[in-house]
Structure 1
Amino acid sequence: MQGSTSNRPGAAIGFVLAAMLGISVNDVMIKSLSGGYALHQIVFLRAIFGIGLSLLLVQIEGGLGLLRTRTPLLHALRGLLVVVSNMTYFAALAVLPLADVTALFFVAPLFITLLSVPVLGERVGPLRLGAVTVGFAGVVIMQQPWAGSATLGVSRWVMLLPVLSALCYAFQQVLTRRLGISTRASVMTVYIQVTFILVSLAFYAVAGDGRFAEGQESASLVFLLRAWQMPEGSDWWILAALGLNSTLVGYCLSQAYRLANAATIAPFEYSALLLAVFWGWVFFATLPGLPVWAGMSLIAASGLFVFARERIKARAVAGTKRFWRR
């Protein structure tokens, strides 16, 4: 039996908070591996370790017959969006502090709010649009347009990678809401794992020997294109944990966006900002600079305002419905 979406914001918020915790742990593990392995190799092994759990979740939710779909192209598009979002995000993570990458990525909930209008037909009023504008101003501050490349320490192209990742992520999540009408969260997780495996194998066929990494000065490109190598010692355990954790993250995100309005859920993803600051300090001894703190505050404030407006509107609609039932 196919799943269906319902309006369960409490459960959706719980799922998205669990996903943010899992994502922050993923980021720490991948950043710790980025100095020795190719990004597409890490993604491949993560998917191989995770797909078994994904199939188990499908079996629990109704059986492997659920993997049949009438919308293969939409699922393929969603999978590719996830792959591009991951690749661009982790390429930036290899060279930028964890909190900075996470903060720049958090233009995603603002994109989701905007995309929910044309894609999902949801209404976003002028006050929420104003809040989104404030959030984008925060992103501009974090980009530090007044600073030169020498001050930033990295190319501006690298600093734009998390924003590109955020845009792909936003498209993916509004598609999740649309596909969730007829597709279980576990099934969508399997499709994503399969896409990661196929794309990673394609990368290996073209660049697995590392020839395109030779002579590259960009650490992000080296991370993306270096040669595959056999993992050593405890790295196997990290990769296995990464695969299992990523599966649970994908499942929780799919459930969250199936169960509630996209504009309602998106602000709760900001919990990952504080987690990123905490893990960056604990594991990598880094803390954000003033522009990142300022931009982060603007984005978080705009997201909380969007959420507050959504709750007020929901109560107003509920009150109207109760009145007309009398």
Structure 2
Amino acid sequence: MVMAMGTLVTSDSCVKLALANAPLFQLMLIRGLVAVVICLGLILAMGQAGQLPRTFNKWLVARGLLESVANVSFTLALAYVAIADLTAIAQTCPLLVLLGAWVFRGERLGAVRIVLIFLGITGALMVAQPGSGAVSLMASLGFLTAIAAALRDLLTPNVPRDVSPLIATLTVLLCLTATGAVGTLAFEDAVMPERWALMLMVLAGALSMAGHLLLYMAYQLGEARTVAPFMYSLTIWAVLAGLFVFGEIPNSLAIAGMALVALAGLAIIWVDGHQRRLARAVQN
């Protein structure tokens, strides 16, 4: 999960840089095509071509459509909002995954986890700073990103276990590419990006493929309540990207909100580990 977050932040940073040279959906299309080509190459190289028909499994397609919603809302806001701020808001995703696992699967949370979840959401609101202007409105798209991404991750265990992670990744990438194509045709006038922007999108496509593959594998290998909190490493990656790539420094309220979101996530990890240790001690 930590590796997935780092690669996805780097991919989004490439897109944010390229947005100065080409429109949103066209960049999504280019990034998606690169990622699909790389993923298909890996599938063929690994001898998994026989699984290609499973790309259209209903659960995989549902994950891909939700990822498209998350990606469009995040990338649209990325042109206006600091990457660290937007990422911190989207970091409510693990909290929503935990809530969803409680509501839909009956996974036990307990009062402490529920309090920590709402503290994390409060921290995200501190980062978004509702009512502070147009930027705040765009920052609110981060919550849509979080909701869509949480639903995507909650669907992951429904995917048959024998489906290759590369096939699952390909479905997401195809949905993202299709979204970029539809958006380009419907809302944008295509332009020819400069060479540097194209290179950034090639890199973004490769990183996007790797990030989605790692994300899928994380949720297949571990329980949602254990894996999801490690998504908070995304905030660290995003702050570093904002500082060193874009020269963005969050304001004091946003920094406090980021800290609250991260601390809530870390506290959930600690609570989970503590309860597991107690359970093992009782068994022994």
TM-score, normalised to structure 1, is: 0.81
1:307 and 2:238 aligned: no
Task: Quickly say closer, same or farther: Cα 1:148–1:202, change in 2 above 3 A.
Answer: closer
Greater share of helix = 2
State the match for 2:202 in structure 1: 240
1:158 and 2:120 aligned: no
User: Deviation at 1:318?
Assistant: 4.0
Q: Secondary structure at the match of 1:183?
A: coil
Amino acid corresponding to residue 179 of structure 1 in structure 2: V
Amino acid corresponding to residue 65 of structure 1 in structure 2: G
State the match for 1:52 in structure 2: 37
Measure, in 2, the Cα distance between the counterparts of 1:251 and 1:70.
14
Q: 1:189-239, CA deviations, whole angstroms, 9 ceiling, x for partnerless residues?
A: 1101111222222223322xx3xxxxxxxxxxxxxxxx2211222222211
Alignment of 1:53-92 (within 5 A): 53-59=38-44, 63-69=48-54, 72-92=57-77
User: Deviation at 1:61?
Assistant: 5.2
User: Deviation at 1:319?
Assistant: 4.5
Rg larger in 1 or in 2? 1
Equivalent of residue 152 in structure 2, options 144, 164, 172: 172
Equivalent of residue 253 in structure 1, options 215, 225, 228: 215
Task: Quickly say closer, same or farther: Cα 1:198–1:181, change in 2 above 3 A.
Answer: same
State the match for 1:294 in structure 2: 256
Amino acid corresponding to residue 290 of structure 1 in structure 2: S
Measure, in 1, the Cα distance between the counterparts of 2:132 and 2:113.
33
1:30 and 2:15 aligned: yes
Measure, in 1, the Cα distance between the counterparts of 2:245 and 2:58.
40
Amino acid corresponding to residue 271 of structure 2 in structure 1: R
Q: Which sections of structure 1, spanning at least 5 residues, go unmatched? A: 1-15, 211-226
| Residues 96, 147 of structure 2: 8 Å contact kept | yes
User: Deviation at 1:54?
Assistant: 1.2
RMSD, aligned CA: 1.9
Task: Quickly say closer, same or farther: Cα 1:191–1:139, change in 2 above 3 A.
Answer: same
1:193 and 2:173 aligned: yes
State the match for 1:142 in structure 2: 127
Q: Secondary structure at the match of 2:140?
A: helix
- Point out the more displaced range, 189-198 or 50-59: 50-59
| Residues 55, 167 of structure 2: 8 Å contact kept | no
Q: Which sections of structure 2, spanning at least 5 residues, go unmatched? A: none
Q: 1:60-116, CA deviations, whole angstroms, 9 ceiling, x for partnerless residues?
A: 555111233397222221111001100000111101111111111111111111111
Q: 1:162-191, CA deviations, whole angstroms, 9 ceiling, x for partnerless residues?
A: 110011011111112331634221111110
- Point out the more displaced range, 59-68 or 237-246: 59-68
TM-score, normalised to structure 2, is: 0.93
Measure, in 2, the Cα distance between the counterparts of 1:235 and 1:142.
30
State the match for 1:231 in structure 2: 193
Aligned residues: 284
Amino acid corresponding to residue 242 of structure 1 in structure 2: A
Measure, in 1, the Cα distance between the counterparts of 2:41 and 2:275.
39
Alignment of 1:313-324 (within 5 A): 313-320=275-282, 323=284
Measure, in 1, the Cα distance between the counterparts of 2:250 and 2:219.
30
Amino acid corresponding to residue 151 of structure 2 in structure 1: F
| Residues 48, 243 of structure 1: 8 Å contact kept | yes
Equivalent of residue 118 in structure 1, options 103, 111, 117: 103
Report sequence identity in percent: 26
